[in-house]
C-alpha cells in the first residue's frame, strides 16, 4: 500500500495546510512541507527497484463492474515525474513563504498547491486510464483555483476561466479518446493498452482516438493553436506559475505523449501531427517571447516554445529523439522553475515586471542576478549548463530524420532558427533586466530579497550546473529507466556528454548563439517590424468568439422561447397530429368488420347539435358569455348521448359536472373582459383551422376505426364479478369504488388539491371588478330576486334528500358518491346565487379545508381498514343484514369509501365557489350580485 501513500500524503497535506490559518507563517510552511517531504522519501525508497527495471503496481477495487479501479504503477517515467513534481513542489512551497504578502492567505495557496500536486501525482502514477483522466481533470480544477487565487482581479478570473475552458475541453476529448482505445483493447488498464500497439494501430478508429488523445495533450501543454491560455494564466501568483509552467500542469500533456508513446506512436499520422504542431509551437513561442515586455510574459512564451520543442522530439519517431525529449523535460523544469522564481523576486523587490522599467538590477541584487543569469543561459543553451546538452541532442536528432523525404533538411534549419530566437530572448532577459542602464521610475527601491527566498533558486541552479557538467553522474539512471518505460522496454545506446567533438550539431549551436546575439543587438529593427504587423491577440479573438457565440445563443433562445403559449401549443398539436396521423396512412382499412347500426333521427339531431355547439363556441369565442353558453350545449349533448347509449351513471355525472363548471366559469368570467379583441390575422386563422380540422379528422378516424372493430376486453370480468365480488349490481359504481377504487382515490385527491390550489391563488388576489357590463349597463338593482331566494331555500332540503338517495343507491343503481356530492354542491351553489356569498358565510361557517381533508381521510382510512383483516389496501367487504323496520339491507365498506368521495367533492366544490365568491364580497362598493 505504500505506493498509494504518495498521492494520499499530498492530499492529506492539502487538507492539513488548509487548516493552518491560525498558525504563524513559519509554522504553516513547515507543517505544509512535512507531507510532501515524507512522500519524497517514499519515492526515493522505490528508486533502486525502478532503476533495476522493476515496475511497482498497486490496485484497489472501486467500481469493478465498470472496470474502473484505483490502480497505481511506478515505472521509470512515472518515477521521474513524481520526483520532479514533489521536489519542485517543495521548493515552491518554501519560496511562497517569502513571496506572499501578509494580506494573502497562505493556507489557501498551500492547500490548492498540494491539491494540484496530488492531481499531478495521480496522473503520472495511474495504471487505469479512467483514473488517469480523473486526475487529469482534477488538475484543471485545481489550476482554476490557483490561477484565480487573486480572485478580485479581473485578469485572474478571466485567465482562470480561459485555462479551464481550454484544458477542460481538451480533457473531454481525451476522455473520448481513452474510452475508444479501451474499447479497442477491452481494458482500462494501462498495462494492457501499452502492450496492444498493433491492435490499436490496426483498428479503424485509431486515427480518431489518436487525434482525441492528442487534443487533450496539446491543450494541456499549450501547443499552438491552443497556447493562448498559458500567458493569461500568468495572472496567478509567481510561485504558482513557477510550479504550473515548469514541472507540472503543462508537462502533463507532454507526459501523456510519453505515456502513450508505446501504444500510439510510430505511425505517419502521429509524426505529421505531433512534429508539425511541435515545430510550429517552437518557432511561434520563441518568436513571440522576444517581444514581450512583461517578464512573466516572456517566460510564458518561452515555456510554450520549449514545450513545442519537446513535442517535436516526440514526433520525430526515433528512439534517441525520445531520450532527448525526456532529458529536456528534466532540464526545462529546472531552469524554468528557477527563472520564474527569480522573476518573482524581481517583481517582489521592484513592484513591477515591465522590462522597459526594470534595468540595471545587477547593482541592486547581484546575487539574485547571477542566479538568474545562469538559469537564463541554460535556457539559451549555453555550454556547461544542462540546457545546452539537451539542445545539442535535439539538433542532432533533427539531422537524423528523413521524414520529409527530400525536404527533410528544412527541419534542422528551422530548429536552428528557433534556437537563435531562444538565445535572443534569453539575452534580452539578462541584458534588459540586469544591465542596460538605470531603472526607470520603479514603484519600489529594489534590494536583495530575504536570504531564504533565494534558497530554492540556488538549489535549482546548482542542479542546472551539475547536470550540465557531470551529466552521466547525475541523470544517467533516471534517464535510462524513464526512456526504458517510454520506449517499451528498449533503450538505445546513448551517451550524454559535454563534448561530442566538432560536429554539425555543435555548428548549429554556434549559429544559434551568434544569430541570437545578433538578433538581440538588432532588436530595434525587429521591434519596429513587429509593431507594424497587425496585432494578433489570441485572447481578444477568444473573448470575441465567445461573445459572438453567447449573443447568438441568446438571440436563438429569445426567438424560440418567445413565451407565446399559442406557439407552444401549436407545436404540441402538430406533433400529436403527426404521431396519430402517420400510422393512419399505414393502415390498409380504416373501417372494421363490425356491422354498422342504422342512424336514427334522434342520434342525427343530437350529433348535429353537438357539432353546432362546438363550432359556435369557437366562432363566438370573443364574446365569452355566448361562447360559454355554447360549451354548455356541448356538455348537455354529451350527457344526452350517454343516456342514449345506456350509460346513466356517466350521463348523471356529466350533467352535474356541467352545471358546476358552467357556474364556476361564469363567476370567473366576471373578472375577465367580456369581449376579447380580434387578434388573429387571416393567415393565422387559416393555419389554426387547418390544424384543428386535421386533429378532428384524425381523432375522428381513429374513433371510427376503433368502434367498428370487434372488441374484447377485461370488462367482462367486471360484469361477472360486480355482484359476487364487489357486492353491487351497478358495475360502473363497483368499478369506481372497488375494482379501480384506487383511481378514484387519486381523482378525489386531484379535486381536493385543485380546490386548495384555487384558494391559494385567490387569497389576497387583487382583481379589478367591473361596475357594469361591457355595454356600460350597470348591474341589476335587484341583487337577490325574492322569487329565486325563497324557492331556492325551500329546494335545499329537497336537493339534499335527493343527493342522499342518489348516494345510497349508488352501489346498485345509477348514482354514487361523486354524483351525490355534485348534487349537494349544486344545491349550495343555488343558495349562493340566490343570496350572495355574505349571506351564506354568515350562516354557514364551514372550514372547507377540514371538510376536504376529512373526506380524503375517510376514503383513505377505509382502504387502510382492510389491513386489519389481513387483506391488501382497499379490499372491500360487504354483507347482508336483516335490520328491524328497514328490512334486509346490504352494508358494504365501499359505501364508506364513497362517503369519503362525497364529502371531498362537496368540500372541494364549495371551497372553490366560496373563494371566487369572496372576491366579490370584499368589493368596496355595494355588493355585487353573482
Site residues for another protein, window 565-604 (CB under 8 A)?
Answer: 565, 567-569, 571-573, 575-576, 579-580, 582-584, 586-590
739: part of which helix (H) or strand (E)?
Answer: none
C-beta closer to another protein: residue 517 or 749: 749
Task: Please identify which residue in 459, 860, 891, 921 interacts with another protein, judged by CB under 8 A.
Answer: 860
When asked if residue 144 is in the footprint of another protein (CB under 8 A), the reply is yes
When asked if residue 756 is in the footprint of another protein (CB under 8 A), the reply is yes
When asked if residue 766 is in the footprint of another protein (CB under 8 A), the reply is no
C-beta closer to another protein: residue 136 or 301: 136
In the complex, minimum distance from the CB of residue 535 to another protein, in angstroms, rounded to a whole number: 25
Task: Number of residues interacting with another protein: please give it, by CB under 8 A.
Answer: 119
Task: Please identify which residue in 38, 169, 195, 293 interacts with another protein, judged by CB under 8 A.
Answer: 169
C-beta closer to another protein: residue 466 or 576: 576
Task: Please identify which residue in 685, 763, 780, 798 interacts with another protein, judged by CB under 8 A.
Answer: 763
Task: Please identify which residue in 871, 889, 890, 922 interacts with another protein, judged by CB under 8 A.
Answer: 871
Question: Coil, helix or strand for 29?
Answer: helix
Give the cell for residue 787: 322569487
C-beta closer to another protein: residue 669 or 789: 669
- Compute the chain's Rg from CA coordinates: 43
Task: Please identify which residue in 218, 738, 829, 898 interacts with another protein, judged by CB under 8 A.
Answer: 738
C-beta closer to another protein: residue 27 or 554: 554
Task: Please identify which residue in 30, 59, 165, 530 interacts with another protein, judged by CB under 8 A.
Answer: 165
DSSP string, 637-650: HHHHHHHHTT-HHH
Phi/psi class of residue 326: alpha, beta or left (left: φ > 0; alpha: ψ in -120 to 50)? alpha
C-beta closer to another protein: residue 30 or 708: 708
When asked if residue 638 is in the footprint of another protein (CB under 8 A), the reply is no
C-beta closer to another protein: residue 72 or 394: 72
Task: Please identify which residue in 133, 206, 229, 425 interacts with another protein, judged by CB under 8 A.
Answer: 133
Give the cell for residue 667: 363567476
Q: Which one of 90-98, 543-551, 783-791, 824-832 is the stretch in contact with another protein (CB under 8 A)? A: 543-551
Report 32-61 residues binding another protein (CB under 8 A). 61
C-beta closer to another protein: residue 132 or 346: 132
Question: Coil, helix or strand for 883?
Answer: strand
Q: Which one of 284-292, 427-435, 470-478, 754-762 is the stretch in contact with another protein (CB under 8 A)? A: 754-762
**Could you give the C-alpha distances from 20 to 148, 150, 347, in angstroms and in order?**
21, 19, 27
Report 95-124 residues binding another protein (CB under 8 A). 103
Cβ burial of 612 (10 Å; 0-12, 13-18, 19+) is: middle
CA distance 667 to 301: 75
In the complex, minimum distance from the CB of residue 776 to another protein, in angstroms, rounded to a whole number: 28
Question: Coil, helix or strand for 537?
Answer: coil
Report 686-725 residues binding another protein (CB under 8 A). 699, 702, 705-707, 709, 711-715, 717-718, 721, 725
CA distance 627 to 848: 31
When asked if residue 2 is in the footprint of another protein (CB under 8 A), the reply is no
Task: Please identify which residue in 874, 896, 908, 913 interacts with another protein, judged by CB under 8 A.
Answer: 874
Residue 409 contacts residue 470 (beta carbons within 8 Å): no
In the complex, minimum distance from the CB of residue 45 to another protein, in angstroms, rounded to a whole number: 28
When asked if residue 173 is in the footprint of another protein (CB under 8 A), the reply is yes
Own/partner pairs, 736-739, CB within 8 angstroms, 24+ separation: 736/816, 736/818, 737/811, 737/816, 737/817, 737/876, 737/894, 737/897, 737/898, 737/901, 738/874, 738/876, 738/894
When asked if residue 754 is in the footprint of another protein (CB under 8 A), the reply is yes
Q: Which one of 163-171, 535-543, 595-603, 820-828 is the stretch in contact with another protein (CB under 8 A)? A: 163-171
When asked if residue 547 is in the footprint of another protein (CB under 8 A), the reply is no
Task: Please identify which residue in 443, 563, 598, 887 interacts with another protein, judged by CB under 8 A.
Answer: 563
DSSP string, 797-831: HHHHHHHHHHHHHTTTSS--HHHHHHHHHHHHHHH
When asked if residue 669 is in the footprint of another protein (CB under 8 A), the reply is no
In the complex, minimum distance from the CB of residue 5 to another protein, in angstroms, rounded to a whole number: 18
CA distance 500 to 831: 113
Q: Which one of 192-200, 236-244, 330-338, 865-873 is the stretch in contact with another protein (CB under 8 A)? A: 865-873
Q: What is the largest CA-CA distance in the chain?
A: 131
C-beta closer to another protein: residue 510 or 590: 590
When asked if residue 12 is in the footprint of another protein (CB under 8 A), the reply is no
When asked if residue 747 is in the footprint of another protein (CB under 8 A), the reply is yes
Cβ burial of 685 (10 Å; 0-12, 13-18, 19+) is: exposed
When asked if residue 192 is in the footprint of another protein (CB under 8 A), the reply is no
C-beta closer to another protein: residue 612 or 695: 695
CA distance 372 to 337: 11
In the complex, minimum distance from the CB of residue 725 to another protein, in angstroms, rounded to a whole number: 8
Q: Which one of 153-161, 457-465, 467-475, 622-630 is the stretch in contact with another protein (CB under 8 A)? A: 153-161
In the complex, minimum distance from the CB of residue 767 to another protein, in angstroms, rounded to a whole number: 12
C-beta closer to another protein: residue 49 or 584: 584
Report 600-629 residues binding another protein (CB under 8 A). none
Residue 36 contacts residue 89 (beta carbons within 8 Å): yes
CA distance 615 to 606: 14
Own/partner pairs, 722-728, CB within 8 angstroms, 24+ separation: 726/876, 726/878, 726/894, 727/811, 727/876, 727/878, 727/890, 727/892, 727/894, 728/811, 728/812, 728/878, 728/892, 728/894
**Cis link prior to 347 (omega < 30° from 0)?**
no
Task: Please identify which residue in 857, 918, 921, 929 interacts with another protein, judged by CB under 8 A.
Answer: 857
When asked if residue 404 is in the footprint of another protein (CB under 8 A), the reply is no
When asked if residue 130 is in the footprint of another protein (CB under 8 A), the reply is yes
CA distance 308 to 276: 9
Bridge partners (DSSP) listed for residue 892: 878
- Count of CB atoms situated within 10 Å of the CB of 502: 8
C-beta closer to another protein: residue 149 or 271: 149
In the complex, minimum distance from the CB of residue 849 to another protein, in angstroms, rounded to a whole number: 5
The alpha carbon torsion through 783, 785, 789, 795 (nearest 10 deg) reads -130
- Count of CB atoms situated within 10 Å of the CB of 536: 9
When asked if residue 796 is in the footprint of another protein (CB under 8 A), the reply is no
Question: Coil, helix or strand for 72?
Answer: strand
**Could you give the C-alpha distances from 329 to 226, 718, 794, in angstroms and in order?**
20, 82, 101
Task: Please identify which residue in 140, 281, 483, 656 interacts with another protein, judged by CB under 8 A.
Answer: 140
Q: Is the dihedral of CA 680, 681, 687, 690 positive or negative?
A: positive
In the complex, minimum distance from the CB of residue 189 to another protein, in angstroms, rounded to a whole number: 15
Q: Where are the beta strands (DSSP E) in 75-155?
A: none
Task: Please identify which residue in 742, 774, 783, 797 interacts with another protein, judged by CB under 8 A.
Answer: 742
Task: Please identify which residue in 507, 689, 693, 864 interacts with another protein, judged by CB under 8 A.
Answer: 864
Residue 295 contacts residue 433 (beta carbons within 8 Å): yes
Report 875-894 residues binding another protein (CB under 8 A). 875-876
Task: Please identify which residue in 161, 399, 647, 796 interacts with another protein, judged by CB under 8 A.
Answer: 161
C-beta closer to another protein: residue 182 or 303: 182
Helical pair 817-843 and 648-670, crossing angle rounded to 10 deg: 30
Amino acid at each position: 500500500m505504500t505506493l498509494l501513500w504518495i498521492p494520499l500524503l499530498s492530499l492529506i497535506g492539502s487538507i492539513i495546510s488548509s487548516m493552518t490559518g491560525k498558525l504563524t507563517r513559519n509554522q504553516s510552511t513547515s507543517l505544509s512541507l512535512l507531507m510532501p517531504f515524507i512522500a519524497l522519501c517514499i519515492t526515493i525508497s522505490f528508486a533502486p527497484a525502478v532503476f533495476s527495471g522493476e515496475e511497482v503496481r498497486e490496485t484497489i477495487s472501486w467500481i469493478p463492474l465498470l472496470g474502473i479501479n484505483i490502480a497505481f504503477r511506478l515505472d521509470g517515467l512515472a518515477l521521474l515525474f513524481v520526483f520532479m513534481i514533489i521536489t519542485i513542489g517543495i521548493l515552491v512551497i518554501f519560496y511562497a513563504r517569502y513571496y506572499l504578502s501578509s494580506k494573502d492567505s497562505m493556507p489557501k495557496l498551500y492547500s490548492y498547491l498540494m491539491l494540484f500536486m496530488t492531481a499531478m501525482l495521480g496522473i503520472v502514477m495511474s495504471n487505469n486510464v479512467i483514473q488517469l483522466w480523473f486526475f487529469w481533470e482534477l488538475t484543471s480544477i485545481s489550476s482554476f483555483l490557483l490561477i484565480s487565487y487573486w480572485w478580485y482581479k479581473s485578469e485572474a478570473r478571466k485567465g482562470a476561466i480561459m485555462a479551464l475552458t481550454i484544458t477542460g475541453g481538451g480533457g473531454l476529448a481525451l476522455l473520448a479518446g481513452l474510452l475508444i482505445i479501451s474499447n479497442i483493447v477491452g481494458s482500462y488498464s494501462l498495462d494492457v493498452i501499452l502492450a496492444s500497439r498493433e491492435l490499436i494501430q490496426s483498428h479503424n478508429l485509431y486515427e480518431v482516438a489518436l487525434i482525441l488523445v492528442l487534443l487533450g495533450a496539446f491543450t494541456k501543454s499549450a501547443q499552438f493553436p491552443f497556447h493562448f491560455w498559458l500567458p493569461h494564466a500568468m495572472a496567478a501568483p509567481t510561485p504558482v506559475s513557477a510550479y504550473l509552467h515548469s514541472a507540472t500542469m503543462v508537462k502533463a500533456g507532454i507526459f501523456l505523449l510519453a505515456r502513450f508513446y508505446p501504444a500510439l506512436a510510430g505511425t505517419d499520422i502521429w509524426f505529421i501531427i505531433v512534429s508539425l504542431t511541435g515545430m510550429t509551437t517552437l518557432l511561434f513561442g520563441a518568436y513571440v517571447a522576444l517581444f514581450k515586455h512583461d517578464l512573466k510574459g516572456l517566460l510564458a512564451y518561452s515555456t510554450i516554445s520549449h514545450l513545442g520543442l519537446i513535442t517535436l522530439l516526440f514526433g520525430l519517431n526515433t528512439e534517441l529523439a525520445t531520450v532527448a525529449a525526456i532529458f529536456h523535460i528534466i532540464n526545462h523544469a529546472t531552469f524554468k522553475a528557477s527563472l520564474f522564481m527569480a522573476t518573482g523576486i524581481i517583481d517582489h523587490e521592484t513592484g513591477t515586471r515591465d522590462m522597459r522599467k526594470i534595468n540595471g538590477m545587477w547593482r541592486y541584487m547581484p546575487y539574485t542576478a547571477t542566479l538568474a543569469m545562469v538559469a537564463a543561459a541554460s535556457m539559451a543553451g549555453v555550454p556547461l549548463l544542462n540546457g545546452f546538452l539537451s539542445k545539442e541532442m535535439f539538433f542532432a536528432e533533427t539531422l537524423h530524420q528523413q521524414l520529409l523525404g527530400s525536404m527533410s533538411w528544412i527541419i534542422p534549419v528551422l530548429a536552428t532558427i528557433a534556437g537563435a530566437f531562444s538565445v535572443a530572448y534569453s539575452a534580452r532577459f539578462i541584458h534588459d533586466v540586469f544591465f542596460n542602464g538605470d531603472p526607470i521610475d520603479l514603484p519600489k527601491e529594489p534590494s536583495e530579497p530575504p536570504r531564504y527566498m533565494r534558497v530554492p533558486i540556488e538549489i535549482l541552479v546548482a542542479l542546472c550546473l551539475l547536470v550540465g557538467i557531470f551529466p552521466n553522474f547525475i541523470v544517467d539512471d533516471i534517464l535510462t529507466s524513464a526512456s526504458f518505460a517510454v520506449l517499451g522496454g528498449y533503450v538505445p545506446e546513448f551517451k550524454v556528454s559535454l563534448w561530442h567533438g566538432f560536429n554539425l550539431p555543435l555548428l548549429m549551436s554556434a549559429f544559434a548563439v551568434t544569430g541570437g546575439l545578433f538578433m538581440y543587438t538588432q532588436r530595434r529593427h525587429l521591434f519596429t517590424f513587429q509593431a507594424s504587423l497587425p496585432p494578433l491577440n489570441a485572447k481578444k479573438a477568444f473573448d470575441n468568439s465567445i461573445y459572438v457565440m453567447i449573443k447568438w445563443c441568446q438571440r436563438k433562445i429569445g426567438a424560440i422561447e418567445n413565451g407565446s403559449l399559442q406557439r407552444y401549443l401549436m407545436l404540441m398539436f402538430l406533433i400529436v397530429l403527426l404521431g396519430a396521423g402517420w400510422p393512419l396512412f399505414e393502415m390498409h382499412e380504416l373501417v372494421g368488420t363490425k356491422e354498422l347500426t342504422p342512424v336514427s333521427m334522434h342520434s342525427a339531431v343530437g350529433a348535429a347539435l353537438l357539432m353546432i355547439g362546438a363550432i359556435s363556441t369557437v366562432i363566438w369565442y370573443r364574446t365569452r358569455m355566448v361562447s360559454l353558453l355554447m360549451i354548455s350545449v356541448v356538455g348537455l349533448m354529451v350527457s344526452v348521448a350517454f343516456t342514449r347509449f345506456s350509460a346513466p351513471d356517466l350521463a348523471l355525472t356529466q350533467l352535474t359536472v356541467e352545471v358546476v363548471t358552467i357556474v364556476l366559469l361564469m363567476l370567473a368570467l366576471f373578472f375577465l373582459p367580456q369581449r376579447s379583441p380580434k387578434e388573429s390575422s387571416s393567415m393565422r386563422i387559416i393555419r389554426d383551422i387547418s390544424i384543428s380540422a386535421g386533429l378532428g379528422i384524425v381523432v375522428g378516424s381513429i374513433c371510427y376505426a376503433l368502434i367498428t372493430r370487434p372488441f374484447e376486453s377485461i370488462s367482462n370480468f367486471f360484469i361477472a364479478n360486480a355482484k359476487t365480488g364487489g357486492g353491487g349490481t351497478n358495475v360502473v359504481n363497483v368499478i369506481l369504488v372497488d375494482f379501480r377504487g384506487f383511481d378514484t382515490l387519486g381523482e378525489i385527491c386531484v379535486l381536493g388539491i385543485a380546490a386548495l390550489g384555487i384558494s391559494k391563488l385567490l387569497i389576497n388576489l387583487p382583481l379589478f371588478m367591473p361596475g357594469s357590463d361591457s355595454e356600460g349597463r350597470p348591474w341589476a338593482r335587484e341583487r337577490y330576486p325574492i322569487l329565486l331566494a325563497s324557492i331556492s331555500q325551500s329546494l335545499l332540503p329537497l336537493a339534499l334528500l335527493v343527493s342522499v338517495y342518489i348516494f345510497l343507491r349508488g352501489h346498485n343503481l345509477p348514482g354514487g358518491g361523486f354524483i351525490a356530492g355534485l348534487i349537494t354542491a349544486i344545491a349550495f351553489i343555488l343558495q349562493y346565487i340566490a343570496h350572495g356569498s355574505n349571506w351564506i358565510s354568515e350562516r354557514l361557517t364551514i372550514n372547507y379545508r377540514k371538510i376536504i381533508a376529512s373526506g380524503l381521510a375517510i376514503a383513505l382510512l377505509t382502504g387502510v381498514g382492510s389491513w386489519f383483516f389481513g387483506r391488501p389496501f382497499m379490499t372491500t367487504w360487504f354483507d347482508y343484514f336483516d335490520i328491524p323496520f328497514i328490512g334486509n339491507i346490504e352494508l358494504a365498506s365501499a359505501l364508506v369509501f364513497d362517503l369519503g368521495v362525497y364529502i371531498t367533492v362537496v368540500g372541494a366544490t364549495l371551497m372553490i365557489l366560496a373563494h371566487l365568491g369572496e372576491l366579490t364580497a370584499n368589493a368596496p362598493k355595494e355588493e355585487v350580485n353573482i
